[in-house]
A and B are shown apart, each in its own frame.
Chain A
Amino acid sequence: MSAGLSDLARGASLCTAMALSIAGCATTPMPNEQIGVAKSSVQRAEQSGAPEFAPVEMATARQELASAEKAAADRKTRPATEWAEKANVDAQLAEATAREHRAHAAAVEFDASIAALRQESQRSSQPTQ
Chain B
Amino acid sequence: MNAKFLTGVSLALVLGACVSMPRPNAALESARMAVHTAEADPNVNKYAALDLDVARKDLSNAEYAALHHQDAVIAQSAYLATQNARLAQARGAAKADDARVAAGQGERDQIMLAARSSEAANAQYAAANAKQAAVNSKQVADSALVQRDQANEETARVQAELDALKATPTSRGMVLTLGDVLFDTGRAELKPGATRKLDQLAQFLAEHPDRRVQIDGFTDSVGSDSYNEELSQRRANAVRTALLSRGVDASRIGTEGYGKSYPVADNADSGGRQLNRRVEVVIGGNDGTPITPRSGL
B123: nearest chain-A partner, CB-CB: A128
Residue from B4, B76, B91, B97 within 8 A of A85 (CB atoms)? B76
Pick out which of these stretches binds chain A: B78-86, B130-138, B240-248: B78-86
The reply to whether B115 and A8 form a contact with Cβ atoms under 8 Å apart is no
Q: A11-B7, A99-B91, A121-B115 are in contact. List 18 more A-B contacts (CB 8 A).
A: A4-B4, A7-B4, A8-B3, A11-B2, A11-B4, A12-B3, A89-B80, A89-B84, A96-B91, A103-B93, A106-B98, A114-B107, A114-B108, A120-B115, A124-B115, A124-B122, A128-B122, A129-B125
Query: Contacts of B90 on A, CB cut-off 8 Å?
Result: 93, 96-97, 99-100
Q: Shortest Cβ distance from B163 into chain A, in angstroms?
A: 30
Residues of A within 8 A of B107 (CB): 114
Tell me if A96 and B87 are in contact (CB < 8 A).
Answer: yes
* A107 adjacent to chain B (CB < 8 Å): yes
Is B6 in the interface zone, CB < 8 Å from A?
A: yes
Given A96-B87, A127-B122, the answer on whether A14 and B10 have CB atoms closer than 8 Å is yes
Query: Taking A7-B7, A114-B111, A117-B108 as contacts, is the C-beta distance between A89 and B83 under 8 angstroms?
Result: yes
- Judge whether B104 is part of the interface by a CB distance below 8 angstroms: yes
Residue A10 lies at the interface, judged by CB distance under 8 Å to chain B: yes
Q: Does A46 contact B (CB under 8 A)?
A: no
Supposing A114-B104, A121-B115, A129-B122 touch, asked if A89 and B87 sit within 8 A by C-beta, the answer is yes
By size class, the interface of chain A is: 35 or more
**How many B residues touch the partner, as a band?**
35 or more
Q: For the complex, is A15 an interface residue (Cβ under 8 Å from B)? A: yes
Most-contacted residue by chain A among B83, B90, B95 (CB, 10 A): B90
The docked-state distance in angstroms from the alpha carbon of A7 to that of B11 is 12
For residue A77, CB closer than 8 A to chain B, the reply is: no
Q: How far is the CA of A113 from the CA of B108 in the complex (A)?
A: 9
Q: For the complex, what is the distance from the CA of A107 to the CA of B119, rounded to whole Å?
A: 28
In the complex, whether B270 has a CB less than 8 A from a CB of chain A is: yes
Interface residues of A in 1-27 (CB under 8 A from B): 4, 7-8, 10-12, 14-15
Beyond A93-B83, A96-B87, whether A14 also contacts B100 by CB under 8 A is no
Would A96 and B94 count as touching, CB distance under 8 A?
yes
A14 partner, pick from B7, B86, B93, B118, beta carbons under 8 A: B7
A11 touches B111 (CB 8 A): no
Which of B79, B80, B95, B97 touches A106 (beta carbons < 8 Å)? B97
Q: State which residues 149-193 of B face A: CB under 8 Å.
A: none
Task: Report the 6 A-B pairs with minimum CB-CB distance, sorted nearest first.
Answer: A11-B3, A103-B97, A96-B90, A103-B94, A107-B97, A100-B94
Q: How far is it, in angstroms, between the C-alpha of A33 and the C-alpha of B71 when the chains are bound?
A: 25
Taking the closest CB of chain A, its distance from the CB of B113, in whole angstroms, is 9
When chains A and B are docked, how far (Å) is the Cα of A36 from the Cα of B167? 72
Verify B87–A14 contact, CB threshold 8 A. no
Residue of A4, A96, A104 most packed against chain B (CB within 10 A): A96
Q: Is the beta-carbon distance between A128 and B270 smaller than 8 angstroms?
A: yes
Q: Which residues of B contact A124 (CB under 8 A)?
A: 115, 118-119, 122
